[in-house]
Amino acid sequence: MSLFIIVALPFLGALLPGLMNSAGRAATAGVTFAISLAAFVGLLTNLPTVLAGEVVMARVDWMPLLGLNFSLMLDGLGFFFALLILGIGLLIIAYARHYLSRDDNMGQFFTYLLLFQGAMVGIVLSNNILLLLVFWELTSLSSFLLIGYWKHLPEGRQGARMALTVTGMGGLAMIGGMLILGEIVGSYDLSVILQNRDAIQADPLYVPALLLILLGCFTKSAQFPFHFWLPHAMAAPTPVSAYLHSATMVKAGIFLMARMWPVLSGTPEWFTIIMTVGLITMVLGAVIALFKHDLKALLAFSTVSHLGLITMLLGTGTAFGAMAAVFHILNHATFKAALFMSAGIIDHEAHTRDIRRLGGLRKLMPVTFVIASLAALSMAGIPLLNGFLSKEMMLEEANHTVLFNSPWLVPALATFGSLFSAAYCFRLIGHVFFGPVRDDYPAKPHDPGSGLWLPPAILVVFVVLIGVAPFMAEPFVKLVTASLLGDAAEVPKAYFKIWHGLVPALYMSLIAVVGGLLMLLIFKPSLRLWDKAPRPEAKVIFEAIVEGVVRLARALILPLHNGAFTRYAAIGAVVFVVAGYHAWTTGTVGATTRTLQAVNFVSIAGWMMLVAATVGMVLMHRNRLLSLILIGIVGLMVSIGFVYFSAPDLAMTQFTVEVVTIILLLLALNFLPNTTPIESSILRRVRDAGVAVIGGLATFALSYHYILRDAVSAPISEFHVANSYKGGGGTNVVNVILVDFRGFDTYGEIIVLGIAALLIYALTESLLSGPVRARLLNRKPDQARAGDKHPMMMVVMTRVIMPVVLMVGFYIFLRGHNEPGGGFIAGLIVSIGVVMQYMASGFGWASARLRYPYHGVIGAGVLIAGLTGIGSWFVSKPFLTSDFTYVRIPPFEKFELATAALFDLGVFLAVVGAVMLSLESFSRLARLAQEPSDDEPMDIDPSRDDLPTSLASSEKEGV
């Protein structure tokens, strides 16, 4: 199966659980399971290629100029992590189906889960570091949704925010490190970066890049001092915790360290930083876990400890350490997922996770006892279970590692951490399952149905199978290790077996196990000492830092951002002028290369009218109607200026926009006072006037000096003129730019235009359903109204010219690719014609003849434009790449067919829909403001929210 499909399946499938929610819990879980199973099977179809030592590649250029391409790579390491993500994901889905209550929105949960799964698969299969960063941040966002899934729990919301804050900040740092690597190598493709070890480590930016990347890895994988967020994420539902702690999220940082091992490892910086952080995390997590009473908290800190163990192994920089890390990743995923699911079973049946309220469950829940005990013993490193094997390899590597010139520091700390690891595993088994059966459980514990215990039981089978027959896992682990090492080192020839003789690692393991049992015997006095001992609380420190940052931000921002636009504009204008003046005085400006053209009387007259209208608008802006008229004059003069400078497209667009805008603003002004009140003092107005004059003079000076000099480099317009016909198939350069060269801009603009119209409609809806409705019904006009609302001459004229307007619009639309015109202008022309119908015949008459809602017209326009852009993907071209050809159909002459016409059609529909939806919204307000009948207006209290339903009949009247 294609790698693209494997990555896309979870994202596309995330649409289905919500749709299936009404079909029942089984259907929702079933469709989610089927999606993950399809991706899992698709991954397995590539197994023969991976086993042969080959790499599966897939690539589609996305933004090649930025170096961001949808490039995927499946090697042994990527296959290993994807196998864990999808394989354990299937078990988590089956488990969650029976774990979640009927009050939980299962469709929403599985939607979040699939998004999370897809982001993780995207990380491990990415061959482009920029693409990897996209998926990296998606894991932070989707895990935020999963951790905070139980929104009613304050600890869930807090844990989600904490996880997003810590991992998000680390992700920002990692972006910088990855960009540095890409610049060093000259490529953002991982396959290229992994072949440039010497160049990267010799570069002076190696250390900054290493620190930034490790910061991202450490925050994601909860390494010291960022370990505190992971235990607080346990507020999520247990299926989320099991998935997050075993195969996803926290393993992302581990994966990236393993992925970058061939090029970043082997230096003193790599060894010292990662080894130190890993050892501290391993020991600290194990010690804290022992004294946690919440079952999930104990397991969460155990995850922190084992992640530190894996980090330490990767930090050694040796091939054997890397192989031990791979093996422990596999083992940890199996026993940790089984343990979390077992903890969920206990919580689900006993209604508590507090170890102090448990005990004696061995007799009440024998199946759960066997599953949890085997998984816990494996985590403790007991022989004949898989955890023992990788722990022995860790201790063996630690015994040969020298840190800070001390040959005993690493072995001692590794043994100490293993001792506490064994202790909390023994406590989990002894304090939860052994002891007398109690009579004060919150609920009567018993083994659940197979839907809950079967998924962890399957994982425990692998725990035992690998433990008693490690040779079965050896070929695969070594295959993954070879992929991890690349060309940097050879895979060690060590054999995976239970007995290696009387080696130091065995003695260290015995010390850890025996010491763990002794710690369990003295647990109570140790707990008292732990509770009394002063120690920093990471959560408190984190919250204090966040609170301090918020206070600092408020102190800096609030005095500036007080909501006054005049202040923002004044500060911005002054900063721009000062910066421009500094650049002008300190820079080098060449001599003038042009002379001013002669100015005729018409140009001077037009300029004087433009200045007069602008100055008049500034001086008389408090009169709203007069300001609108002056704005129209300014727009008209600008249109004439475009004509003067031979820009008919811009002139037509400007003119039609002015007409539509004036009509809509006139409707809006109908509901506003005639004048704007004075709200600012004389001093502030003088200040604003001074800033405006300075900004205007600066702009004038810059424009004046710019037009007297040639551009340093060839302007982009030359490229557009040279390539308009041969690249876009049109001789109208402006239209080709809009629908081809800068189609992204146009596509974004019509989306924004549609959103603006929908917001106006939504605002109108809220006004019509609130107290404003009463005020509109009770509103009396301040001037006498005309007796004839719809003059016959205007009605007849608009209906006669409507076909002409449509014909002109159709003509302008078709000629746009080669002559002045296009979809935008045609849309405005047709909109003007329809607006005239509303003005002449009234809202009721026009809306009664409306066949298609304007919402749908906007949606159709955006959809057509988007599909036109997507169509280019099917011929391996970038989004919105247009194509054209010439055809001849006798007896007609040869004519052009261009895909840009379809895009222009989408622009046309979006413009018409947006303008008319805005008009419709204002018209509904205006219609409601009229008298509900020919009688006097109804005497209605405007403050009332509960209006008689009979008033709704007034909406059937025309404007």
Mean predicted confidence (pLDDT) in 254-261:
94
Q: Look at residue 663 in the predicted model and tell me its pLDDT.
A: 82
DSSP label at residue 770: S
How far is Cα 14 from Cα 122, in angstroms, rounded to an integer? 15
The pLDDT value recorded for residue 109 is 92
57 neighbors 73 (Cβ within 8 angstroms)? yes
Residue 737 pLDDT > 70: yes
pLDDT value, residue 723:
82
In the predicted structure, residue 789 carries a pLDDT above the cut 80: no
Please, are residues 623 and 674 in contact by the beta-carbon 8 Å criterion? yes
State phi, psi for 440 to the nearest 5 degrees: -125, 30
- Average of pLDDT values for 648-676? 83
Confidence (pLDDT) at 782: 60
**Sequence-ordered list of residues with C-beta below 8 angstroms from that of 366, at least 6 positions apart, any chain:** 447
Q: What is the reported pLDDT for 937? A: 37
> Quick one: pLDDT at residue 926?
65
Residue keyed to tokens 């343990």: 339
Q: What is the CB-side half-sphere exposure of residue 685 using CA atoms within 13 A?
A: 7
d(C-alpha 763, C-alpha 321), whole Å: 63
The domain spans of the chain are: 265-557, 731-959
Q: What is the pLDDT of residue 772?
A: 62
pLDDT at 59 over 50: yes
Q: Is the pLDDT of residue 955 over 60?
A: no
Pair 398, 283: CB distance under 8 Å = no
**C-beta separation of 288 from 280 below 8 A:** no
Spatial separation of the C-alpha atoms in residues 565 and 571, rounded to whole Å: 10
Q: In whole angstroms, what is the distance from residue 105 CA to residue 108 CA? A: 5
853 versus 287: the higher-pLDDT residue is 287
d(CA 219, CA 256): 12
Q: Looking at the DSSP assignment, which residues form a beta bridge with residue 128?
A: 189
Amino acid occupying residue 543: E
Q: Select from 724, 752, 908, 880 the least CA-distant residue to 817.
A: 724
Q: Which one is predicted more confidently, 919 or 654?
A: 654
Find the mean pLDDT for residues 730-737: 84
The predicted structure's pLDDT at residue 953: 33
pLDDT at 878 over 90: no
Omega into 791 within 30° of 0, i.e. cis? Answer: no
- Return d(Cα 897, Cα 812) in angstroms, integer: 16
Pairing of strands 68-74, 895-898: unpaired
Give the per-residue SS3 of 278-316: HHHHHHHHHHHHHCCCEHHHHHHHHHHHHHHHHHHHHHC
CA 441 to CA 456: how far, in whole Å?
Answer: 24
Q: Cα torsion at 579, 583, 585, 590 (round to 10°)?
A: -150
Tokens of 389: 């094997």
Predicted local distance difference test score (pLDDT) of residue 930: 56
Mean pLDDT of 282-292: 93
Q: How confident is residue 729, by pLDDT bands cut at 50, 70 and 90?
A: confident
Q: Is 70 strand, coil or helix?
A: strand
Integer Cα distance of 228 and 298 in angstroms: 13
**Three-state secondary-structure class, residue 223:** coil
Instruction: Give me the pLDDT at residue 120, please.
Output: 94
Tell me the pairing of strands 68-74 and 884-887.
Answer: unpaired
- Between CA 263 and CA 197 the distance in angstroms is 4
- Specify the pTM: 0.73
pLDDT in tens, 306-328: 999 999 999 998 999 999 999 99
Q: Which residue has the tokens 């390539």?
A: 723
Please say whether the beta carbons of 814 and 908 come within 8 A.
Answer: no
Backbone angles phi, psi at 73, to 5 degrees: -145, 130
Interval 578-629: pLDDT, tens = 998 888 888 777 788 888 888 888 888 888 888 898 888 888 888 888 888 8
pLDDT of residue 800: 87
> What are the structure tokens assigned to 334, written together?
């199996």
Task: State percent of the chain over pLDDT 90.
Answer: 44
- Chain centroid, CA 255 distance in Å: 21
Q: What is the mean pLDDT of residues 485-493?
A: 85
- Contact predicate 376/463, CB 8 Å: no
Cα 391 to the center of its chain, rounded Å: 38
pLDDT of 776 > 70? The answer is no
> Is residue 289 a contact partner of residue 422, using CB atoms and an 8 Å limit?
no
SS3 for 916-939 is HHHHHHHHHHHHHHCCCCCCCCCC
Q: What is the CA radius of gyration of the chain?
A: 35
Query: C-alpha 73: how far from its chain's center?
Result: 23
pLDDT level of residue 942 (50, 70, 90 thresholds): very low
Higher pLDDT, 442 or 667: 442
**Sign for the pseudo-dihedral over CA of 177, 179, 182, 183:** negative
- Cβ distance 380 to 425 under 8 Å? yes
317 — alpha (psi -120 to 50), left (phi > 0) or beta?
left
**Quick one: DSSP state of residue 603?**
H
DSSP state of 673: -
What's residue 956's pLDDT?
34
Residue 864, by phi and psi: left (phi above 0), alpha (psi -120 to 50) or beta? alpha
List, for residues 376-433, the tens digit of each pLDDT value. 999 999 999 999 999 999 999 999 899 988 999 999 999 999 999 999 999 999 999 9
Alpha-carbon distance 816 to 271, whole Å? 64
Q: Please tell me the distance from the alpha carbon of residue 24 to that of residue 599, in angstroms, as a whole number.
A: 77
Cα dihedral 906, 909, 912, 913 sign: negative
Rounded to whole angstroms, the Cα distance separating 522 from 910 reads 75
Higher per-residue confidence, 158 vs 460: 460
Of the listed ranges 81-95, 608-622, 711-725, 931-945, the least confidently predicted one is 931-945
Q: Give me the percent of the chain exceeding a pLDDT of 70.
A: 94
Confidence class for position 773, pLDDT limits 50, 70, 90: low
Q: Give the model confidence (pLDDT) of 704-726 as tens digits.
A: 888 888 777 777 888 888 888 87
Q: What is the pLDDT of residues 526-576, one digit of tens each?
A: 999 988 888 777 778 888 888 899 899 888 888 777 777 888 888 889 999
pLDDT-derived band at 951, boundaries 50, 70, 90: very low
Are the C-beta atoms of residues 409 and 403 closer than 8 Å to each other? yes
State the pLDDT confidence band at 784, using cuts at 50, 70 and 90: low
- Note the pLDDT tens digit of each residue in 211-232: 999 999 999 998 988 888 888 8
Beta carbons of 65 and 185 less than 8 angstroms apart: no
- pLDDT, mean over the chain: 86
E strands of 717-809, at which residues?
A: none
At residue 933, the pLDDT reads 40
Q: Are strands 895-898 and 884-887 parallel, antiparallel or unpaired?
A: antiparallel
Q: What is residue 939's predicted lDDT score, i.e. its pLDDT?
A: 39
